[in-house]
């Protein structure tokens, strides 16, 4: 059996209906996990589930808004025993401090920060009672370096980084590992969405510009993020906790 095998494990993946979350869901199911997709978009989650099922994998879809604690607790209750949580659901916002309204800040906080907290709050007691588990949170290079016009988003990903350390520390004795990954730009609907919303008419130019900000010369593919996620959530990474992994084509260290 591969060291990356997730056979017999149950994984909950938020935002598994699109982009990085979809790639992680497909990858984890291909390694034998029963994948539970938690997504606001039932349509997106169903599309991922179909891809998993047609490859012979096990998957269950839960239409849920991660900002709503009662909904999240009910879903985790329905899932039952849990081995892996991937906090991936997230939304973007482009704007510096002056272009971030109170409503913008609240919206980003509610999904990116409170949403992750809600899943952690529901999942950690289950992992404790099972004798352990693995958590992976989606941070961003925006948590590590200054990115122009990402005030609220950077704030939210900095919080993810800090929550990762807090949970990793507090649950060492419970055999729960908690790490985060910090991608630079990954080509997903998330990126296409903010380009078309914020730079209408300049989509191609902005896509090329954003691609070139990775020293490696392109955006990542969601599948490349899923492979790091698999490693960190597998037993192959059994000595790794409390760490953030940039997966960024050199963005944080080679952009001088
Ligand atoms: N794409 C990138 O360049 C990039 C870079 C760094 C970090 N990230 C992070 O990776 C994660 C995934 O990004 P992506 O690019 O795959 O995004 P995406 O927009 O393609 O997918 C996000 C998914 O989350 C779901 N979602 C949004 N709000 C939700 C809510 N309230 N409740 C439940 N589900 C909800 C959406 O329905 C969607 O299926 C995010 O946390 C993002 O911040 C992305």
pLDDT tens per residue across span 128-173: 999 999 999 999 999 999 999 999 999 999 999 999 999 999 999 9
Global pTM value: 0.97
| Dist CA 108 CA 110 (whole Å) | 5
245 is an active site residue:
no
Structure tokens at 207: 């896509």
Beta carbons within 10 angstroms of residue 199's beta carbon: 16
- Tell me how far the alpha carbon of residue 222 lies from the centroid of ligand 1, in angstroms: 11
Q: Is the pLDDT of residue 190 over 90?
A: no
Beta strand 176-183 with 133-138 is: parallel
Q: Which of 117, 153, 171, 245 is catalytic?
A: 153
Count, residues in the chain: 256
Q: Is the pLDDT of residue 1 over 80?
A: no
Task: Please work out whether the CB of residue 48 comes within 6 Å of at least one atom of ligand 1.
Answer: no
Nearest CA residue ID for atom 21, ligand 1: 18
Q: What is the average per-residue pLDDT within 40-49?
A: 97
Predicted local distance difference test score (pLDDT) of residue 256? 82
Q: Is the pLDDT of residue 69 over 90?
A: yes
- Backbone phi, psi, residue 128, to 5°: -60, -45
- Tell me how far the alpha carbon of residue 51 lies from the centroid of ligand 1, in angstroms: 19
Q: What is the third-level CATH fold of 10-183+221-242?
A: Rossmann fold (3.40.50)
Q: Is the pLDDT of residue 58 over 80?
A: yes
Predicted local distance difference test score (pLDDT) of residue 198? 84
Task: Please work out whether the CB of residue 40 comes within 6 Å of at least one atom of ligand 1.
Answer: yes
- Tell me how far the alpha carbon of residue 199 lies from the centroid of ligand 1, in angstroms: 19
The domain segmentation of the chain, as residue ranges, is: 10-183+221-242, 189-219
Per-residue buried b or exposed e for 120-132, using 16+ beta carbons within 10 Å of the residue's own CB: bebbbebbeeeee
């Amino acid at each position: 059996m591969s060291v990356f095998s997730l056979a017999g494990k149950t994984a909950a993946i938020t935002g598994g209906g699109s982009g990085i979350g979809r790639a992680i869901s497909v990858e984890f199911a291909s390694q034998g996990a029963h994948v539970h997709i938690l997504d606001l978009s039932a349509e997106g989650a169903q599309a991922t589930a179909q891809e998993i099922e047609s490859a012979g994998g096990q998957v269950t879809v839960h239409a849920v808004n991660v900002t709503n604690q009662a909904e999240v607790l009910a879903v985790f209750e329905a899932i039952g025993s849990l081995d892996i949580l991937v906090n991936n659901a997230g939304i973007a916002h482009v704007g510096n401090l002056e272009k971030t309204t109170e409503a913008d800040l609240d919206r980003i906080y509610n999904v990116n920060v409170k949403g992750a907290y809600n899943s952690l709050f529901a999942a950690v007691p289950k992992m404790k009672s099972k004798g352990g588990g693995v958590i992976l949170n989606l941070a961003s290079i925006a948590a590590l370096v200054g990115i122009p016009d990402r005030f609220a988003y950077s704030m939210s990903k900095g919080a993810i980084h800090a929550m990762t350390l807090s949970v990793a520390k507090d649950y060492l004795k419970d055999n729960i590992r908690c790490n985060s990954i910090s991608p630079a730009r990954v080509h997903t609907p998330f990126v296409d969405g903010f380009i078309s919303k914020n730079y209408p008419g300049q989509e191609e130019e902005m896509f090329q510009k954003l691609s070139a900000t990775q020293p490696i010369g392109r955006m990542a593919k969601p599948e490349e993020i899923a492979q790091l996620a698999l490693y960190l959530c597998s037993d192959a990474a059994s000595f790794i906790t409390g760490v953030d992994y940039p997966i960024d084509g050199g963005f944080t260290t080679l952009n001088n």
